[in-house]
Amino acid sequence: MLLTVLELIGIAVFAASGAVAAVRARLDVFGVIILALTTALGGGIVRDVLLGVHPPTSLRNWPYLLVAGGTGLIVFWFHPQVAKLRRSVLLLDAVGLGLFVTSGTTTALALGATPYAACLIGMTTGIGGGALRDLLLREIPLVLRREIYAVAALCGAVVVAVGEWAKFPKGLVALTGAVLIITIRLIALWRKWNAPVARGLEG
């Protein structure tokens, strides 16, 4: 029950980030809901497609759709108030990233994926929704151009894969991976860390 609640919180936060981006792009209410659903559920759907899980888990569990869509509507109507909660949303986003990556990696390993494939699938679970959101808004995905986001996700996924290979307790492994992701993400936000880009570019 606790894990389900945490997953729903993560879905709500990711949906809120998608809805906020849609509102800023001046999309209508349907567009806001679609962006909320895509951001919240896109990573999990990509994971399930890669692992051959059909239909995807998030499309078989109505609470996921309800929370994501409902969050989109709330943001549509109350976006000025949501904008004031930026720091809280970033904190919850880091928590959601940690949960999604560790659960995605664990799921991939349980379904027979190799460790390196599970790491990539776990990372995709965490960052896939945001990447799809940016593509729908005709932007270069944020995770490819700014902030330590994908790197944090990959580090946590590697911890989960190594822990599973070493046969450590699964709960401890997942918790360790999630804490690592959250810590890296929050420190990166605090210190304003970004991944390096090529030097000597014109314009």
Per-residue model confidence as pLDDT tens digits over 50-89: 999 988 988 888 999 999 999 999 999 998 887 777 777 7
Predicted pLDDT of residue 2: 59
Predicted pLDDT of residue 163: 96
Predicted pLDDT of residue 187: 93
Whether the upstream peptide bond of residue 55 has omega within 30° of 0, thus cis, is yes
What integer best gives the mean pLDDT of the chain?
A: 89
Whole-number Å distance between alpha carbons of 180 and 5: 20
Predicted pLDDT of residue 177: 94
Whole-number Å distance between alpha carbons of 6 and 158: 21
Digit-coded pLDDT (tens) for 150-200: 999 999 999 999 999 999 998 899 899 999 999 999 999 888 888 777 777
